[in-house]
Structure 1
Amino acid sequence: MDHLIDLRERFNVGEFSSLVGFMEFWQACESLEKRPSQALLDTYKALPRKKRSKNDVVLRLDPEEGPFTRVEQDALFQWMHDQFCHKNLDPEHYLYLRLAMIYGLRGCQLRELVFKDFIKSDHGYKIRIFWAKQRGGDAGWRAKSEIFNLDEDLYNTVQAYKSIVLAGLEAEYPERANWYKAINNVPLFRRRLVGQRRGKESVPVIVDLPDLRLLEQEPKLQFHISDGVIRTWLYRIENMPGFPISPRTQQPLKISKGHRFRHTLGTDLSNAGLDEWSIASAFMHANTHSVRKYRAVSPELMKLIDEKMSDHLALVVGAFTGTIVTDRTSAKNGGRLDRQIEDLAVCGADTVCYLDAPFTCYGCSKFQPLLDADHKAALARLERRREQTIAIDKTTGVLWDRAILACRKVILDCNALLESGSTAGWDA
């Protein structure tokens, strides 16, 4: 086996694939007296096509091109959700990131999507995803597809965006097509030729070509966005204010590098206990060759990295925005019984919010944690609550992470304040 691996290192991907094909042909020639054994052929076929697999970005958990850790995923999800809600992130960009995170799609698969690929049926909400071109296969542009489950909330978001796009098309090109009919074939991510006009408000809804009416019949490639424009989007998003910082590099998370979302999905599915064929099916692969590497990344390793990074992420994510107080007398509303949050803190809000205290409080700007309180016990309770929630619904469960990060920041700040011997309030 060692000799076979050494031999593998001498060939590039194409050469080694040709060698494996020749070995398979040779083994099938029953008229020949000497043929390679089936065991040897199986070993050849099992070897990864890429050389030096130890340098694979997945296997070495490359912090810029490999899979995101759960802490990084949660920080990114929370950031893009907040930015979208505050209208700082365009619907196109939000949907692209969210679909990439959920399905681990290649860029070409995302760019192929049109509005009719989002389906409401008697069996729930579905999404139609097209195969990327396969080696030796016949899958071309929107030629072969599969149906996957879709979250109802995401379906509703897409439908709301569809209404916005339809209104824009009717206003911009009122006589160029029957847009009520054509909208289903309009790309989710459209070619728009931004540079043709000035000002964000005057950017066309879709590129102005003479054959817009063709969209009444079927999707057309010329109206879909290009890979280069998507990369420009992702670079700009990485540089937006407040974009999550990677605790591993101390730089903004890289979302523009290769197949990071795909690598993350494969690693998560493997750590969830799925077998190679199930992962390959989720990836729309015809075989398991390229998904075997995900089985090598253990959940224990990912958990260890998350634990090591959590305190560092708490320092940079800005989750805690309240004020640490030394005692209740120095806190706003400190004398009011209805503003006491167990033995942990005082609420500085003017009115009662009726949210799930103390779990939702650590991320609130009105939260005034007590310096000497047992915030580590509160952290343990928050983490248990998160695990209980995420076991049912990961999308909802990750929303606890910001409160957890804020609690960690409170613990770090309290420790720093106690070590310094200061008695002044600590403003986040």
Structure 2
Amino acid sequence: MNIAVSALEAPNKGSLEEWLNTPRLAKCGEFFTPSEPMWRPSKSARSSVNWQAAIACVPSHWQRWLHALLAYRMMEVAQGTVELATSILSRAAQIGLDPLNEYHLIDLRERFNTSEFSALASLMKYWQECESLEQRPSQVLIDAYETLPRKKRLQNDVILRLDPEQGPLTQVEQDALFQWAHEQFCHGILDPESYLYLRLSMIYGQRGMQLRMIVFGDFIKTEHGYQIRIFWAKQKGDDAGWRRKSETFNLDEDLYNTVLAYRSIVRARLEQEYPGRADWNKAIEHVPLFRRKLDQRGGRRKMNPVMADLPDQNALEQTPQEKFHASSKAIRHWLFQMEIIPGFPTSPRTHQPLKISRGHRFRHTLGTDLSNAGLDEWSIASALMHANTHTVRKYRAVSAELMRLIDEKMSDHLALVVRAFTGTIVTDRALAKNGDRVDRQIEDLAVCGADNVCHLDAPFTCYGCSKFQPFLDADHSAALERLERRRAQTIDTDKTTGVLWDRAILACRKVILECNTLRESSQLGGSDA
């Protein structure tokens, strides 16, 4: 693409029109032309940037400079950030508020929520500091933005008031959700992507943006165990950018093996659906775990392609490509769909299905759990990938006593919600479904009644499964000891994932109690005869 050198220079009043008509390189690596009605350089984005509606919020002699500002912004930040800015400006225009008018700031603050008003203030500050633009807001206006108190009230914080629909999940709710996801996945009702997204959200509590950046190559096997690489979001300076800075966290072996098996399935489908488009054995390292799919709302196919048919698939041989990753809208749709699946866990606090599609709920949960476990602010900030401790202090304000009070109020519902063991105890192998099949025997403890093999960590993950058929006379106490040792080993390396063993331990204890009850009743019946 030939671009005149003069058009690349900072625009002035005389050259601004030429500058806006010159293609620019967006942050995502694709070109866009500022004068075009809509911008969509990122092919992975589901919507375009409508700058025309946005610039209407300022007086006419400012509009072309705001237009240029948004173009500069597109060159430096992600398209989603510019979309948010134009959405805020467009809504301000609709109600006649001018972000350049100091007397409108209070009305703007009241019209938008805290994060939106902060985004607007950041955009104005960026404009004032953008020396490439001749016409810029005054420092007085920027000072007014920065000194205006934000309207957020702590009593409305979903974490501090333990909001039952948006705040942290209680341990009972987490247990029920984990058990449901495990069973739905094992029985083929929950697809691998939805299952993995839910598992990773519950374990690591990271933002959706961070989980969407994950590729198969981010799951690592080392001589010290298994790890996952997670990239930062909202960073500033040299570390800013898509998949620019990362941290590694410990990973459960069972989850690693699940991802590895899914990776093989995805690679096979890519080779089948897009033969010759890339060396998929090499490219699979950079294929997203959560991929952009073909949008087929108008009609359905029996099976959608495993990844959207976008150009430059061979570029995945070298590095991850943002355009192939799932959008936030698609992920939210997955979570909404989970909530309406029959049998989805119910909250004892609301007597309604759990809400998992609202905001940073898993993030709030992890932060609260880590605080209640006694971790210091820096440790919580590190686990949540915060650059400082300011945001995590709210988790310290939620006391363990308050969480225990909530659990006590739910005690009447505990048996209904937890129901850790949902299988069937059998007295003889011949009475069990699949009892005659060698591949369905679970050591000398039980028989699996599922139609398909789940390849998960038997017998540890089996006790909580509804298809589990434990033998009445098996040594389940020994299995319980193994489960507790496994949990202790996991906690030694990663306290975050160690709690996931609690559900299986509770189910195993329930099996032991029920077996004892059945044996005692059998003995009493024999003595009466």
Give the TM-score normalised by structure 2.
Answer: 0.56
Question: Are the equivalent residues in 2 in contact too, given 1:362–1:407 (CA < 8 A)?
Answer: no
Identical positions, percent: 63
Q: Deviations over 1:38-96 (max 9, x none)?
A: xxxxxxxxxx9773112210111000000000000011011101111111110101100
Note if 1:156 corresponds to 2:251. Answer: no
The one-letter code matched in structure 2 to 1:396 is W
Go from structure 1 to structure 2 and tell me whether the alpha carbon gap of 1:129 and 1:99 turns closer, same or farther (over 3 Å shift).
Answer: same
The one-letter code matched in structure 2 to 1:105 is Q
Q: Deviations over 1:4-29 (max 9, x none)?
A: xxxxxxx88568xx9xxxxxxxxxxx
Q: Aligned runs of 1:345-360 on 2, under 5 Å? A: 349-351=427-429, 354=445
Deviation at 1:171, TM superposition (A): 0.4
Q: 1-side partners of 2:467 and 2:319: how far apart?
A: 49
Note if 1:190 corresponds to 2:291. Answer: yes
Question: Are the equivalent residues in 2 in contact too, given 1:191–1:223 (CA < 8 A)?
Answer: yes
Does 77-86 or 195-204 show the bigger shift? 195-204
Note if 1:305 corresponds to 2:406. Answer: yes
Q: 2-side partners of 1:149 and 1:197: how far apart?
A: 42
2:268 maps to: 167
Note if 1:219 corresponds to 2:315. Answer: no
Equivalent of residue 502 in structure 2, options 392, 397, 417: 397
1:209 maps to: 310
Q: 2-side partners of 1:280 and 1:111: how far apart?
A: 21
Question: Are the equivalent residues in 2 in contact too, given 1:319–1:363 (CA < 8 A)?
Answer: no
Note if 1:81 corresponds to 2:186. Answer: no
Question: Are the equivalent residues in 2 in contact too, given 1:58–1:293 (CA < 8 A)?
Answer: yes
Helix, strand or coil at the partner of 1:290 = coil
Question: Are the equivalent residues in 1 in contact too, given 2:278–2:314 (CA < 8 A)?
Answer: yes
Which structure carries more relative contact order (alpha carbon 8 Å, separation 6+)?
1
Question: Are the equivalent residues in 1 in contact too, given 2:207–2:360 (CA < 8 A)?
Answer: yes
Equivalent of residue 287 in structure 1, options 364, 381, 388: 388
Deviation at 1:408, TM superposition (A): 12
1:326 maps to: none
| Unaligned 5+ runs, structure 1 | 1-10, 19-47, 324-346, 370-381, 410-428
Q: 2-side partners of 1:116 and 1:265: how far apart?
A: 25
Equivalent of residue 70 in structure 1, options 171, 174, 178: 171
Question: Are the equivalent residues in 2 in contact too, given 1:386–1:398 (CA < 8 A)?
Answer: no
The one-letter code matched in structure 2 to 1:163 is S
Question: Are the equivalent residues in 2 in contact too, given 1:244–1:317 (CA < 8 A)?
Answer: no
Q: 1-side partners of 2:508 and 2:329: how far apart?
A: 37
Helix, strand or coil at the partner of 1:273 = coil
Go from structure 1 to structure 2 and tell me whether the alpha carbon gap of 1:112 and 1:364 turns closer, same or farther (over 3 Å shift).
Answer: closer
Deviation at 1:143, TM superposition (A): 1.1
Go from structure 1 to structure 2 and tell me whether the alpha carbon gap of 1:164 and 1:200 turns closer, same or farther (over 3 Å shift).
Answer: farther
1:143 maps to: 244
Helix, strand or coil at the partner of 1:289 = coil
Q: Aligned runs of 1:349-388 on 2, under 5 Å? A: 349-351=427-429, 354=445
Go from structure 1 to structure 2 and tell me whether the alpha carbon gap of 1:258 and 1:196 turns closer, same or farther (over 3 Å shift).
Answer: closer
Q: Deviations over 1:183-209 (max 9, x none)?
A: 111000000114179556420111101
Question: Are the equivalent residues in 2 in contact too, given 1:103–1:265 (CA < 8 A)?
Answer: yes
Question: Are the equivalent residues in 1 in contact too, given 2:205–2:363 (CA < 8 A)?
Answer: yes
Q: 1-side partners of 2:401 and 2:511: how far apart?
A: 25
Equivalent of residue 102 in structure 1, options 200, 203, 216: 203
Does 146-155 or 286-295 show the bigger shift? 146-155
The one-letter code matched in structure 2 to 1:237 is M
Q: 2-side partners of 1:317 and 1:266: how far apart?
A: 23
Question: Are the equivalent residues in 2 in contact too, given 1:314–1:405 (CA < 8 A)?
Answer: no
Go from structure 1 to structure 2 and tell me whether the alpha carbon gap of 1:158 and 1:133 turns closer, same or farther (over 3 Å shift).
Answer: same
Deviation at 1:310, TM superposition (A): 3.7
Helix, strand or coil at the partner of 2:503 = helix
The one-letter code matched in structure 2 to 1:95 is L
Give the TM-score normalised by structure 1.
Answer: 0.68
| Unaligned 5+ runs, structure 2 | 1-108, 122-148, 431-443, 447-458, 473-479, 493-497, 515-529
CA RMSD of aligned residues (A): 3.9
Go from structure 1 to structure 2 and tell me whether the alpha carbon gap of 1:54 and 1:361 turns closer, same or farther (over 3 Å shift).
Answer: closer
Equivalent of residue 212 in structure 2, options 111, 114, 121: 111
Count of equivalent residues: 335
Note if 1:177 corresponds to 2:278. Answer: yes
Q: 1-side partners of 2:238 and 2:464: how far apart?
A: 54
Question: Are the equivalent residues in 2 in contact too, given 1:78–1:402 (CA < 8 A)?
Answer: no
Q: Deviations over 1:239-282 (max 9, x none)?
A: 11111000001010000010000000100111111111111111
The one-letter code matched in structure 2 to 1:190 is R
Question: Are the equivalent residues in 1 in contact too, given 2:219–2:227 (CA < 8 A)?
Answer: yes
Helix, strand or coil at the partner of 2:415 = helix
Q: 2-side partners of 1:78 and 1:125: how far apart?
A: 23
2:152 maps to: 51
Q: 2-side partners of 1:187 and 1:388: how far apart?
A: 31
2:15 maps to: none
Q: 1-side partners of 2:309 and 2:466: how far apart?
A: 46
Deviation at 1:309, TM superposition (A): 1.4
Question: Are the equivalent residues in 2 in contact too, given 1:108–1:227 (CA < 8 A)?
Answer: yes
Does 188-197 or 93-102 show the bigger shift? 188-197
2:230 maps to: 129
Helix, strand or coil at the partner of 1:315 = helix
Q: 1-side partners of 2:325 and 2:361: how far apart?
A: 23
1:260 maps to: 361
Helix, strand or coil at the partner of 1:349 = coil
1:238 maps to: 339
Go from structure 1 to structure 2 and tell me whether the alpha carbon gap of 1:261 and 1:49 turns closer, same or farther (over 3 Å shift).
Answer: farther
Q: 2-side partners of 1:387 and 1:363: how far apart?
A: 24
Q: 1-side partners of 2:151 and 2:220: how far apart?
A: 38
Q: Deviations over 1:124-178 (max 9, x none)?
A: 2111111011366742211111111111111111111100000000000011111
Helix, strand or coil at the partner of 2:249 = strand
Helix, strand or coil at the partner of 1:188 = coil
